[in-house]
Structure 1
């Protein structure tokens, strides 16, 4: 099976959240990816929103999508070295659950240091396993 890849650079603004979600949903459909596009869109929303909320500024947000051998890998790179945190939250906190959602839905996720920042990624296997 061949590997399909795409990359889109976006500004770290609130408009990029629905734009990234749209791009990924279109790719998932065009590539006939078996993973649930609603789950994929949810995780992309969380990663991009984290960049918008915690990085912002003039940094470029890069959305990277790869599909190979039934596995979908999505990464969001930004210009900040600050690591995401999966924290414990009280039930009354209205925000801050993004990485908990990623951890719960993705098969795996992680962070890689890159020149000038980091890349947060997640993978989803065939059938959402």
Structure 2
């Protein structure tokens, strides 16, 4: 199986959210990645939006890797504050991003990285683990 990697630095501002989505869509298309691209786009948008909202200005790094059939996407920023999966609130307008990441990804995590952190998720190929059609 082939392995691919890509990394790009983006400014930590709101305009990077749709840009990150578009980059993920284009890279996964180019790689012929078997993952659900809409899930990957949604999850990367949540991670980048979290950096914009919580990590302050500067630069973030979008990392993509396809190893065999597994896709791993990470976002690196300069804040050491780790993400938190908040309790669901019906009154708050925000704060559901990491719940989405936890629910839609096959695996996710956060780790220290230099002077900040890397938050990542992994997606299996679309259809893995689903029951066969009768």
* TM-score class, shorter: over 0.9
- The alpha-carbon deviation at position 2 of structure 1 amounts to 2.0
- The alpha-carbon deviation at position 128 of structure 1 amounts to 5.3
- The alpha-carbon deviation at position 127 of structure 1 amounts to 2.2
Contact 1:107 1:128 in 2 (8 A): no
Q: Considering only CA atoms, is the larger Rg found in Structure 1 or Structure 2? A: 2
Q: What value does the CA root-mean-square deviation take over the aligned residues?
A: 0.9
Match of residue 14 from structure 2: 14
SS in 2 for 1:57: coil
Residue deviations 1:37-63 (CA, integer Å, cap 9, x gap) = 1100000000000000001222x1000
Match of residue 85 from structure 1: 84
Q: Is 1:4 the equivalent of 2:18?
A: no
SS in 1 for 2:126: helix
What TM-score do the two structures reach when normalised by structure 1? 0.96
- Listed as ranges, the gaps of 5+ residues in structure 1 are none
What TM-score do the two structures reach when normalised by structure 2? 0.92
Matches within 5 A, 1:43-122: 43-58=43-58, 60-122=59-121
SS in 2 for 1:75: strand
Contact 1:73 1:122 in 2 (8 A): yes
Q: How far apart in 1 are the matches of 2:3 and 2:33?
A: 12
- The alpha-carbon deviation at position 118 of structure 1 amounts to 0.2
- The alpha-carbon deviation at position 93 of structure 1 amounts to 1.0
- Listed as ranges, the gaps of 5+ residues in structure 2 are 129-134
Instruction: Report runs of 4+ in structure 1 exceeding 3 Å deviation.
Output: none
SS in 2 for 1:126: coil
